[in-house]
């Protein structure tokens, strides 16, 4: 990672952190003065079970994004099959801890909490695909625009991620491990954390639009890559919007899997 790229990402992290620190007490005052507004209860995402513990856990995930940016080496070593799988499983374990806490400690019905029973089978796949189309078009268009105009105008010659290079030039086993991680493990773990937990917990103390933006920014930051940051934020907004409107976390999970799958296939085909 270029040092200039690291500095920009860290500045974005600080701005986002300051925004949420200011916003939470501000929204608390607004809700107290205008209780009839009930901003955090609008929409189809269930937020009332989430409390301060879940909010703090969401904050810890956000801090993890900053740690990944700070720890990213200037020249990352080439990915390996073991490294890709271990890294994805560690992230999945973080999501698993959150889910285990909600299910076993809090005794919450996870199917009801995440609206997983609202859509099933073909209707679920059709709705997820319908949301995926505009999300993918927006993500790819913004990626193209920033790569060819914004970053060049700013004098930034951003390098391809090591994972992209590995997809192009790596072994068949490495390509399969990346595909498995991108299409199966990452969509489930990341959507559980960023939409299922972070979006809902932040919405509980603010409101849905702020929570959508915050969770999308955290989603973009944790990937620790400036070139993909803006497209990932846009995708995160689509994922949050789809979750809020449908009330079913399976929708953004499938959207995420579809986007990653298409991205991997596009890289493999040049």
pLDDT digit string (tens) for the chain, length 270 residues: 567 888 888 888 889 889 888 988 888 888 788 877 777 777 899 898 998 899 888 888 888 777 777 676 666 678 899 989 998 998 899 899 999 999 999 999 999 999 999 999 999 999 999 999 999 999 999 999 998 888 888 888 777 778 888 888 889 999 999 999 999 999 999 999 999 999 999 998 888 899 999 999 999 988 888 889 999 999 999 999 999 999 999 999 999 999 999 999 999 887
pLDDT the model gives residue 116? 95
Q: What is the span of the domain harbouring residue 143? A: 3-268
Provide the number of structural domains found in the chain: 1
Torsion over CA: 21, 22, 23, 25 (sign): positive
Q: Encode pLDDT of 15-35 as tens digits.
A: 988 988 898 888 888 878 887
pLDDT at 64: 78
Q: In whole angstroms, give the CA distance from residue 238 to residue 173.
A: 32
In degrees, to the nearest 5, what angle opens at C-alpha 134 toward C-alphas 178 and 12?
65
pLDDT at 195: 96
79-116 residues labelled b (16+ CB within 10 A) or e (exposed): bebeebeeebeebbebbeebbeebeeeeebeeeebbbb
pLDDT reported for residue 1: 59
Dihedral (CA of 91, 252, 257, 231) sign:
negative
pTM: 0.93
Give the closest residue to 176 by CA, choosing from 78, 255, 270, 264.
264
Query: Is residue 264 within 8 Å of 161, Cβ to Cβ?
Result: no
C-alpha distances (whole Å) from 140 to each of 108, 145, 173, 205 are: 37, 9, 27, 32
| Four-residue CA torsion sign, 137, 158, 82, 217 | negative
């Amino acid at each position: 990672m270029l040092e200039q790229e690291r500095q920009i990402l860290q500045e974005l992290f600080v701005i986002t952190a300051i925004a949420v620190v200011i916003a939470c007490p501000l929204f608390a005052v607004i809700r107290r003065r205008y209780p009839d507004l009930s901003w955090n209860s609008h929409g189809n995402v269930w937020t009332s079970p989430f409390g301060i513990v879940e909010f703090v856990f969401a904050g810890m995930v956000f801090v993890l994004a900053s740690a990944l940016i700070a720890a990213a080496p200037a020249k990352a070593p080439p990915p390996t099959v073991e490294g890709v799988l271990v890294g994805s499983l560690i992230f999945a374990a973080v999501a698993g801890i959150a889910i285990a806490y909600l299910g076993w400690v809090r005794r919450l019905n996870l199917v009801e909490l995440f609206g997983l029973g609202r859509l099933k089978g073909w209707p679920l796949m059709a709705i997820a695909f319908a949301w995926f189309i505009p999300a993918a078009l927006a993500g790819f268009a913004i990626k193209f625009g920033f790569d060819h105009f914004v970053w060049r105008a700013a004098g930034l010659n951003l390098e391809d991620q090591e994972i992209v290079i590995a997809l192009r030039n790596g072994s068949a086993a490495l390509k399969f491990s990346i595909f498995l991680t991108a299409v199966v493990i990452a969509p489930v773990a990341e959507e559980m954390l960023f939409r299922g937990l972070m979006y809902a917990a932040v919405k509980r103390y603010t409101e849905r639009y702020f929570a959508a933006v915050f969770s999308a920014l955290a989603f973009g930051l944790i990937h620790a890559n400036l070139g993909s940051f803006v497209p990932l934020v846009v995708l995160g907004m689509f994922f949050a919007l789809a979750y809020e409107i449908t009330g079913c976390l399976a929708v953004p999970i499938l959207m995420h899997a579809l986007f990653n799958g298409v991205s991997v296939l596009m890289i493999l085909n040049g």
